Amino acid sequence: MSVTSPVSQAAELDPLLLRAAMGDRAAFADLYRRTAPRLLGVCVRMLADRREAEEVLQEAYVAVWQRAKTFDPARASAMTWLIALARNKAIDRLRQHRSVAGDFATELESIPDEDSIPAVRVERGEEYRRLEQCMEQLQPKQRGCIREAFFSGLTYNALAERAQVPLGTLKSWIRRGLLQLRACLET
C-alpha cells in the first residue's frame, strides 16, 4: 500500500465511497484495499484480540456497503466516516459479550499515552495536530480519561472502576474535557 498524505488520501477516498454508494463494487474493493489496515489497527487496539478484530472489520465493511448511501462528504471525510463506523462496531461488540469490570487490572495512571506507542504512522494530519494542541490544554486527568475512553470503548462505569474514582467524578472530568475540547477546536 502506497503512503499517501492525508489530504490526497481524503481526496481519493471520498469519490470511492460515493461510487460504492451507487453500487460500484470495484470502487468498494479499492476502498477496502486502501482503508482496511487503518480500520483494523483501530479494531485491534479496542478489542485487543486479532481474530475478533478481524470479525468486527468484516462486519464493518458489510455495513459500509449497506450504509454507503448515508455518507455525506459535506459532514465528514470518508476516512472519518469509516473509522467511526468501525469503532461503533467494535464498541457494540464490547457491549455484547464482555464483562466490563474486572477484566482489566490496569489503573488509569499506568495506561501509556501516545508517546510510548511506536510512531509507525509518520504522517499526521492537520486535524490531528489541532486536536493534540487542544488536548494539551486539558488537565492531565481529563486528557487521560478521554484518551482512555476513546481507545478502550469502556463505559463510564467501567472506566470509573478502572480509575478507582467515583462515577460522578469521572463523568465530570470527561464531560468538562469534551466541552473544553469543543470550545478549543471551534476557535
Partner 1 sequence: MSTSFEDDQNNLRYAEYVLGVLDADARAAVAHEIATSDEAAAAVALWQRRLMPLTELLPEVAPSAGVWPRIRQALGWDVRRESRSVGFWGTARPWQWISLGATAVAVFCLVMLLRAPVGGIPGAGHIALMVSSIRQDNGVTDWTATMDLDRKQIVVVPASFPAVPIGRSTQLWLIPAGKAPISVGVFAAANTTVLPLSKELLAQLGPTAALAVSYEPPGGSPTGQPTGMVIAKGAISGAAT
CA distance 148 to 129: 19
The yes or no reply on residue 16 touching partner 1 (CB under 8 A) is no
Total chain residues near partner 1 (CB under 8 A): 72
Least distance (Å) between residue 105 CB and partner 1? 20
Least distance (Å) between residue 163 CB and partner 1? 12
Least distance (Å) between residue 110 CB and partner 1? 18
The yes or no reply on residue 167 touching partner 1 (CB under 8 A) is no
Q: Which of 137, 124, 148, 126 is nearest to 179 (CA)?
A: 137
**Location of C-alpha cell 468486527:** 56
The yes or no reply on residue 10 touching partner 1 (CB under 8 A) is no
The yes or no reply on residue 169 touching partner 1 (CB under 8 A) is no
Helix 167-186 × helix 156-163 angle, to 10°? 110
Q: Which residues of 96-116 are buried (b: 16+ CB within 10 A; e: fewer)?
A: eeeebeeeeeeebeebeeeee
CB contact at 8 A, 93 and 56? yes
Question: What 3-state class would DSSP assign to 124?
Answer: coil
Range 44-103, binding partner 1 (CB under 8 A): 44-45, 50, 53-54, 57-58, 61-62, 65-66, 72, 75-77, 79-81, 83-84, 87, 91-92, 95-96
CB contact at 8 A, 170 and 163? yes
The yes or no reply on residue 127 touching partner 1 (CB under 8 A) is yes
Least distance (Å) between residue 43 CB and partner 1? 8
Least distance (Å) between residue 150 CB and partner 1? 5
Residue 31 CA, distance from chain mean position: 18
- Sequence-distant (≥ 6) Cβ neighbours of residue 71 within 8 angstroms: 17, 18, 21, 78, 81
Least distance (Å) between residue 87 CB and partner 1? 7
Interface stretch with partner 1, choices 8-16, 103-111, 136-144, 153-161 (CB under 8 A): 153-161
Binding residue (CB under 8 A) for partner 1 from 7, 11, 101, 185: 185
